[in-house]
Amino acid sequence: MRKKVVAGNWKMYKDKSETIELISGLKEKLSKFNSEVEVIICPPFTSIEIAKELLKGSVIHLGAQNMHFEDEGAFTGEISAKMLKSFGVEYVILGHSERRSIFREDDKMINKKVLKAVSVGLKPIFCIGETLEERENNKTFDVIARQLTEGLSSISNEHLNEIIVAYEPVWAIGTGKTATPSQAEEVHKYLRKLIEEKFGRSFAESMRILYGGSVKPDNAKELFSQPNIDGGLIGGACLKADSFYDVINSAV
């Protein structure tokens, strides 16, 4: 049985006092939660240190939203995996479609990041997904197969266990348009088969594949109950303790 995961991608939201407010609210809501679901929050870098402090003794795990693939150097504005690790970060979102489209990250760069993350002990939440145009041109499976193959290229079996895949159709992110449970399940099933072909059956059975893209309290349960959907990567609905808690509860 794969343990379900619900991860919150805060994106560029929440200053210091808002971070304190949201985490306090979540901790209160989750105080009686017995961790049937793995809950992760990924605040911006500026909130990492305070989040780590506030999350002490809670069931909530801490992730970041991006990192550079070098350990250090003249890379103005960047943060390394090693730096995140030194602040007690456990997960890192890599390959998010906003990084791919706005910041021009390609499969090769994302692969470097994935390999660096696992080498320092960070667990990637590795995102893939097709654009609307690609879907309309029947390219969905080709695109996600390429993103998965290239993004996870050269990864060792030992580190493969640490990867969480997030399928996020770009056309569903922040748009209010969700893939229907059967549309999402179709892709998740395909991904699991692809993982089996590439890495073998036991990895395919144990790897968590999350769905992301306009997941909300009112659609989460049906999505999370699909056989190959192991939880979600949540944007908008993770910014309020109430709605994030309701999404988490939908995975129980």
Interface ranges with ligand PGA (CB under 6 A): 9, 168, 173-174, 212-215, 233-237
Nearest CB to ligand PGA, comparing residues 54 and 237: 237
CB of 225: closest distance to ligand PGA in angstroms? 18
Q: CB-wise, 67 or 204, nearer to ligand PGA?
A: 67
Is 68 designated active site?
no
Q: What CA–CA distance (Å, rounded) separates 243 from 214? A: 12
Q: In this complex, which beta carbon is closest to ligand PGA, that of residue 109 or of residue 210?
A: 210
Q: How far is the CB of 96 from ligand PGA (least distance, A)?
A: 6
The question of whether 96 is a catalytic residue gets the answer yes
**Least gap, CB of 219 to ligand PGA (angstroms):** 11
Q: Which residue is nearest to ligand PGA (CB)?
A: 235
Instruction: State which residue, 42 or 122, has the beta carbon closest to ligand PGA.
Output: 42
Min separation Cβ 211 and ligand PGA, Å: 10
How far is CA 180 from each of CA 54, 169, 219, 224, 247, rounded to the nearest angstrom? Answer: 36, 11, 9, 11, 16
Nearer to ligand PGA by Cβ, of 37 and 63: the residue is 63
Amino acid occupying residue 231: G
Catalytic, out of 98, 168, 185, 188: 168
- Check 38, 61, 68, 96 and give the catalytic one: 96
Residues taking part in catalysis: 96, 168
